[in-house]
Amino acid sequence: MKKYIFILSLFFIVFNVQSQEIKKNKNAKISFKVDGICGMCKKRIETAALKTKGVKFALWSPKTHQLNLIFDEHKTEMSTVQQNILKVGHDVFDVNENKISATDEAYNSVHPCCKYRDEKIVLDHEGELKKVKKN
């Protein structure tokens, strides 16, 4: 009888621990800000996000600077996506709106018209969305 009670107690403990596990979503939706100014930035940001394993959808708006993502939490995390965007030269903002800057080397690798840290270039882009040339 003691064995039966022990096994039953053990079963309830294991079941209780499993039910407290954090559930990961296959279609997690999240958005955060990414600095950029034009169509070439849009393509670069979205491509960096989509090349991250587990990212299913990425859409960045040059007007609002919001990047909307759908990704599988079993395969990746938001921080991994952000690191990949930083590597291509774009600053990102975390969920608390804290800016995480790309390295100077990565930032300097972007096209001259995409230098979003330069006020003069940002003013040149106001009111227009440059299209990416297809080769």
CATH code at position 44: 3.30.70.100
Type of residue at 67: L
Distance from C-alpha of 52 to C-alpha of 11, rounded to nearest angstrom = 39
If one counts the domains in the chain, the total is: 1
Distance from C-alpha of 50 to C-alpha of 84, rounded to nearest angstrom = 10
Is 62 a domain residue? Answer: yes
Is 49 a domain residue? Answer: yes
What's the confidence (pLDDT) of residue 57? Answer: 96
Distance from C-alpha of 101 to C-alpha of 103, rounded to nearest angstrom = 6
Least confident of 23-27, 58-62, 64-68, 70-74: 23-27
Is 16 a domain residue? Answer: no
Is 91 a domain residue? Answer: yes
Contact in structure between 55 and 43 (CB atoms under 8 Å) = no
The model's pLDDT over 50-62, given as tens digits with 9 standing for 90+, comes to 999 999 999 999 9
Integer angstrom CA distances of residue 34 from 5, 9, 44:
56, 50, 11
Contact in structure between 34 and 124 (CB atoms under 8 Å) = no
Print the domain residue range for 45.
28-125
Distance from C-alpha of 104 to C-alpha of 108, rounded to nearest angstrom = 6
Is 23 a domain residue? Answer: no
Q: What percent of the chain clears pLDDT 70, i.e. is strictly above it? A: 78
Is 118 a domain residue? Answer: yes
Q: What global pTM score does this model have? A: 0.75
